[in-house]
Structure 1
Amino acid sequence: MGGGAGGVAVLGQPPGGNEAGGRMKPATWPNAHPETGRLLHVEPRAGRFSDAHVADLPSLLRAGDLLVVNDAATLPASLPGRTESGERIELRLMSREPDDTWTAVLFGAGDWRKRTEDRPPPPVLPVGTRFIVGGLTARVVEVLPPSPRLLRVAFAETGAALWAALYRGGRPVQYAYTGGPLALWHVQTVYGARPWAVEAPSAGLPLTGSLLLGLRRRGVALASLTHAAGLSSTGDEALDSALPRPERSDIPRATVDAVEHTRAAGGRVVAVGTTVVRALEGRAARHGGRLVAGEGTTDLLLGPGYVPRVVHGLLTGVHEPGSSHHALLQSFAPLPLLREAAAHAEAQGYLGHEFGDSCLLLDA
């Protein structure tokens, strides 16, 4: 889950490779005391980095800074089931569409215990096909490029019946490096609100209530937005190369005001996770550099040459080096520094993936 991508923010995660082999050891279970996790502080302009802990975050930020979090709660987006002919499948929700259909990815037999790239291919389900997943009756409305596994589906159940069945029959999306079945509460931030994310906005998982209180006491302001973090990996090369897909977000007027006030006063806007960066920068890009409140979608892809207009720094996770997310993080730091920092994290035993250690890209 490395959210996603969608959700998940990382130091150089391989393209589509949430479970790809690598040398950095993954965290296999949520940390009971996440504030004790390690924090790699990268200072892009100074070209240096240093070791700290998540609990040190208040001392690394200044009074007048603004921390922006993604308050999307995580859905039980993994739905096991069978086709009408009895073949075992899994449907992973990707996004809810304005017409109340869902974009989703189909998997073959198996579950999280087998790496996504090792799962057998699912059956081809043409438009009109009906199947049962998580106790819900689904119908294929559209098969989407670039893969026959990418579907738009409609559920027979609607309203409260749909949501009740989803929470009764669904499970959190998880991957083979985890040490056991995850409960839904394992993948929620302490400030999670609207159920929009299909994978946890994992950069915020280490932010405990006491740590947020410490930031407030330090004089760091807090603001939130809701961004629908999508799937970070499917095991399908064609699909993974197209991630992240366009995602919706809702930016409150109060958050726009907080950002504008912080920048005008000389403070720094620090995003918790790349979902927040996509939401803020994507909205500004659509409005000539001006941040506008309200709901919308973004297809913004961060990378080399992109200069953030709104965000000064980023709190993210630490994962294996790879071109996909190194390109993303090059909006905040030069590639040689990112490579050096990733090598240091690996050598020092930092833990990767969504329950792993953290990285702060922010000049002192």
Structure 2
Amino acid sequence: MKPARWPVDHPEEGRLLHIEPRGRRFSDARVADLPSLLRDGDLLVVNDAATFPASLLGRTASGERVELRLVSREEDGTWTAVLFGAGDWRKRTEDRPPPPVLPVGTRFTVVGLPVQVVEVLPPSPRLLRVAFDEDGAALWSALYQGGRPVQYAYTVAPLSLWHVQTGYGARPWATEAPSAGLPLTWNVLLALRRRGVRLASLTHAAGLSSTGDAVLDAALPRPERSDIPVATVAQVEATRAAGGRVVAVGTTVVRALEGRAAMNGGRLVAGEAVTDLLLGPGFVPRVVHGLLTGMHEPGSSHHALLQAFAPSLLLKEAAAHAEARGYLGHEFGDSSLVLDA
């Protein structure tokens, strides 16, 4: 499936493939049709994590060019990150030269910030835990001044930070954009409210989707933190009790809700936690009835997650239909709704 090469001006006009698992059928629609595909009493849950500038260019003490992509901030103030070799957005990560091996204790500089390797993590010497000399406001100021959002080689130009923000983004927790929400303009959200669809939010730290390293990519997604408000838990419980459907916007919302329920015997609990839950074939969702997501090709980790909601054969048929019809994939591409009518 061809990638969308740039964000569109009117994302609500993007195509939407509606996949109905029980009916074993699919149909073409538009994102703007979403209100007509949901019901009065349904609940749409979004990830309100804002995307921060996680791509940091720098040099080692010997002058070698590197890129450090931040993955997650840890409780002790250190960061988990992935190291890349020299290159820019024009070259695919899998085609870039390998980065230098940086043992524990190595100091180097990114975006003018001194940083030290404090741990090398399995399964790859490229996966590091690092500590910046700066912290708090000084660190965040430097990241926003010198960093940039994670780039993609299929785009026609470098992305700016505003290209990867949803309309409702809040806390800067996301390494890469929770892209399923990018087409949800305020016009669509208001139309959903008029339809009687309720809206709720949580914050989930969406991590890297890929690194170009097969060993590292096989270990994705990494454990990720989420914060689920008390109000969202109450809305989920009320929706389910009334016979409504809980629809997640993106796989990050599915992971946050189902991961939290799995930790607590099927009960959704408010607050902050970290989940390492991997969803896929055979997993039975306890909270979410369906999801709005991007177009994912068979064989991808996101496609495997969809098999928790629809049969593999149906998903493959839908993907073949989408490709034949010219649907576009990746972060700025078209959408799919996996939900029974």
TM-score, length-scaled by structure 1: 0.93
- Cα offset, 1:323, TM superposition: 5.1
The 5 Å alignment of 1:53-202 reads: 53-202=30-179
Deviations 1:150-194 (A, max 9, x none): 000000011111000000010000110011011100000000000
| Structure 2 residue aligned with 1:18 | none
- In structure 1, the residue matched to 2:208 is 231
- CA separation in 1, counterparts of 2:186 and 2:332? 17
SS in 2 for 1:153: strand
Q: Secondary structure at the match of 1:283?
A: helix
How far residue 325 of structure 1 moved from its aligned partner, in angstroms, is 3.0
Q: Deviations over 1:210-239 (max 9, x none)?
A: 110110011000000000000001011110
Q: Partners in 2 of 1:90 and 1:284 — Cα distance?
A: 36
Q: Which amino acid in the other structure matches residue 239 of structure 2? A: T
Is the Cα–Cα contact under 8 Å of residues 248 and 290 in structure 2 kept in the other structure? yes
Cα 1:146–1:359, aligned 2, differ >3 Å: closer, same or farther? same
Q: Is the 8 A contact 2:85 2:100 kept in 1?
A: yes
Partner of 2:301: 324
Give the 3-state SS of the residue equivalent to 1:91 in structure 2: strand
Output the CA distance in 1 between the equivalents of 2:301 and 2:221.
11
Tell me the distance in 1 between the aligned counterparts of 2:313 and 2:104: 47
Alpha-carbon distance in structure 2 between the residues aligned to 1:127 and 1:284? 37
Aligned to 1:9: none
Say if 2:316 is the partner of 1:339: yes
Letter in 2 for 1:225: L
Structure 1 stretches of 4+ moved >6 Å? none
Q: Deviations over 1:95-130 (max 9, x none)?
A: 000011000000000012100100100000011111
Q: Quick check: 1:315 aligned with 2:321?
A: no
Q: Name 1:292's counterpart in structure 2.
A: 269
Counterpart Cα distance in 1 of 2:302 and 2:250: 12
Distance between the aligned counterparts of 2:226 and 2:304, measured in 1?
23
For residues 135 and 222 of structure 1, the distance between their equivalents in structure 2, rounded to whole angstroms, comes to 41
> Is 1:216 aligned to 2:193, yes or no?
yes
Q: Take 2:87 and 2:237, find their aligned partners in 1: how far apart are those partners?
A: 48
Unaligned runs of 5+ in 2: none
Measure, in 2, the Cα distance between the counterparts of 1:127 and 1:46: 54
- Report the CA distance between 1:326 and its aligned residue: 2.9
Which amino acid in 2 is paired with 1:277? V
CA contact (8 A) 2:74 2:80 kept: yes
Counterpart CA distance in 2 for 1:79 and 1:234 is 15
Which among 204, 210, 217 is matched to residue 240 of structure 1? 217
One-letter identity of the residue aligned with 2:101: V
Q: CA RMSD in A?
A: 0.7
In the aligned structure 2, how far is the partner of 1:320 from the partner of 1:313? 18
Give the equivalent residue in structure 2 for 1:45. 22
TM, length-normalised to structure 2: 0.99
Query: How far apart in 1 are the matches of 2:267 and 2:20?
Result: 26
Query: Following the alignment from structure 2 to structure 1, what is the Cα–Cα distance between the partners of residues 257 and 50?
Result: 18
Q: What amino acid sits opposite 2:20 in the alignment?
A: E
Tell me, which stretches of 5 or more residues in structure 1 are unaligned? 1-23
Which SS does the other structure have where 2:298 is aligned? coil
Structure 2: distance between partners of 1:318 and 1:156: 40
Q: What is residue 19 of structure 1 aligned with on the other side?
A: none
Counterpart contact for 2:251–2:302, Cα < 8 Å:
no
Distance 2:69 2:298 in 1: 26
Amino acid at match of 1:110: G
For residues 280-323 of structure 1, give each alpha carbon's deviation from its aligned partner in whole angstroms, at most 9, with x where no partner exists: 00000000000000000101100111010000000000133215
Equivalent-residue separation in structure 1 for 2:150 and 2:113 (angstroms) = 17
Match of 2:5 in 1: 28
1-structure distance, mates of 2:129, 2:293: 31
Amino acid at match of 1:117: E
Partner of 2:328: 351
Percent identity between matched residues is 84
